[in-house]
Amino acid sequence: MEELSSINGEGFGTSTASLDAAGAVTLDYIDGGITAVSGVRASGVYAGFRKNPDKNDLALITFPEGTVAAGVYTRNIFCAAPVTVSRAHTAHGHARAILINSGNANAATGTEGLAVAEQSASLVACALDISPEEVLVASTGVIGVPLSLECIRAALPCSVAALGPDDGTDRAGGNAAARAIMTTDTKAKEVAATVSLSQENGTSVTVTVAGMCKGSGMIMPDMATMIGVLTTDALLTPAAADAALRAAIDVSFNKVTVDSDTSTNDTVFLAATGVSGGDVIDVMHASFPVFAHALAQVCEKLARMIAADGEGASKLITVEVTGASSASDADLVARAIANSPLVKTAIAGHDANWGRIAMAAGKSGAQFAQEHVAIDIMGLPVLRQGLPVVFSEEEAIKRFEESEIVLHIDLGAGNAATRIWTCDFTHDYISINADYRT
């Protein structure tokens, strides 16, 4: 069975979870985001991509020499120009800076958009005296509108001047960057935690793992989330960074859906400064599973924040599927339920309509027998052996007052399991997306 990491009902997850390969792994969550990591500096300024000058729209993040970097990107055929540029740059395995703008996706902009993305990297490189290949770029916002290079050129001096200290104490710079990448998000999404990594000489080193992301709509990633930046001071090899990032994304950002749509700009970066020192951690090091688990837990917290902040959402929804015959079948059922407008609107209306959950599972294409299925809504049994269970509607309505709604379906077909996070659909979702460009 695929292990489901434990969740509590008080926030975005628990700080302790088990990892078979590494024993008990404990994360200590701390205040802040990406700049809680030593060696990371960040800023967020207004460059003019968005209409409201009170909302910053350009984030700059810098790293010390030798920082290892990895990236995972959208598979959307209409991938944006910055995705193409950053995919090529992360192939080198190192980075010194990331530039992210909101308000304009620089997608479907042809060769001109590609040139702007490349020139943006060059402008940052010139300002920081580094190589353009060491600069990663990302954009988010409206598709099909040319991105102004002049806005970046004019704002970069302010971006560089606003960079805070790199000793892990600059919470303001990290928060400014997290806010600068927001589009329809209602809040900045940041997480930071520390974890202890055992060394070959018998000692241990405490490292920090942190992240920020943006995402509220056009969310059902195929390889990442809309925009995410993860940082750590662990001393990783490029191969270890890439492996840990991909594994973390598979169980976090790839388990989120707001509206079943995959963005043209989905990007997640991981930057490892190595400032913590200690052993060089490759994929064979004894502490690699511990680090990978810590990174996955940080990503899970961010993924849940995305679902909870879905456009117009009033509820975070966790869909748990157990008893599937295979991992792929478990995922099929979970996504079918999480993406069903009928399920999502029923939850918005506080309606314990288990029939919609059963319907979505049945259309998913997964193999199971309906007479073996059990469904619970917020721990309330509503279906057993494929038949309805009498339950109190009053009790069901009471349970819908919780901020997180948990749907559990056991297919009775095997031992595979998974979990997906989504949100309800309210009238506000239509309003936000009907008015997105106007």
35, 109, 183, 225: which one is catalytic? 225
User: How far apart, in whole angstroms, are the C-alpha atoms of residue 216 and residue 184?
Assistant: 6
Whether 225 sits among the annotated catalytic residues: the reply is: yes
Closest CA to 191 of 31, 304, 332: 31
Can you state the angle between helices 81-90 and 110-128, rounded to 10 degrees? 50
Distance separating alpha carbons of residues 355 and 334, to the nearest angstrom: 15
State the helix-helix crossing angle for 327-339 and 341-348, rounded to 10 degrees: 60
Q: In degrees to the nearest 10, what's the CA dihedral of 310, 141, 136, 295? A: 0
Residue 414 tokens read as 């095997």
* Catalytically active residues, by annotation: 225
